[in-house]
Structure 1
């Protein structure tokens, strides 16, 4: 019982990241361009659009899935599953956007999602970073 509760708690970061992605993709285009973009551009002056947001969001999602997997995420097959799960969630996100005012599904966004997830998995596969990540994540 205690072990299953711990696994459930370890899933919480992934659920929170997915909820944040869903909430942001549920915002109408007019609100994204007039409220969110200027605010982000003030923080990051060189940012011209939201492409970087896809990289960052799915980078974070991949880290959250890796955290959930614990030491089991060290296997190559687990890393592939993490990227696949992130990409599948990206597909659902793009599908969802077709129902939001002023938003449309975009293949490029899905590509950015997959690249962000892959970058996270590759980065924390570097042995020194992996050891550090294991200390932080446990």
Structure 2
């Protein structure tokens, strides 16, 4: 049952990000400069965790798991920025993509440091 949840959680989260990216604007007050980069890093931090939970069912090496999870999140972030370039009121920003990748990387660094990977079948 855990494998089923893990595998469904990632595409569900990706769909939420896609939906949010498809909105012309998000009703978030800007409290400080580059706040959106923090939002991106935080969102992709959680995506990194979900990606690793999904991918761990197929990869046994923690290092490979971390790399594949980061690459997945980075490519999704890149495709998300490309998607936003077609939405009126939105724009693609390479710094958003960098923030996405940094968020996923931080998640993987913390998971590699503090989480022991059980063997899953």
How high is the TM-score relative to the length of structure 1?
0.74
The reply to whether residue 95 of structure 1 matches residue 82 of structure 2 is yes
Matched residue, 1:130: 115
Aligned counterparts, 1:1-138, within 5 A: 7-29=3-25, 32=26, 36-38=27-29, 47-48=32-33, 49-70=35-56, 72=59, 74-126=61-113, 129-131=114-116
* Greater relative contact order (CA < 8 Å, ≥ 6 in sequence): 2
2: distance between equivalents of 1:73 and 1:10? 16
State how many pairs are aligned.
116
2: distance between equivalents of 1:106 and 1:73? 34
Give the unaligned 5+ runs of structure 2. Answer: none
Structure 1 consecutive aligned stretches of length 4 or more whose deviation exceeds 6 Å? none
How far 1:69 moved relative to its partner? Answer: 2.6
Tell me if structure 2 keeps the 8 A contact 1:26–1:97.
yes
Tell me if structure 2 keeps the 8 A contact 1:66–1:73.
no
Indicate the structure with greater helix content. Answer: 1
Tell me if structure 2 keeps the 8 A contact 1:86–1:113.
yes
2: distance between equivalents of 1:55 and 1:87? 11
2: distance between equivalents of 1:105 and 1:87? 14
Cα gap change, 1:24/1:73 in structure 2, threshold over 3 Å: closer, same or farther?
Answer: farther
Give the unaligned 5+ runs of structure 1. Answer: none
Q: CA RMSD in A?
A: 2.2
How high is the TM-score relative to the length of structure 2?
0.83
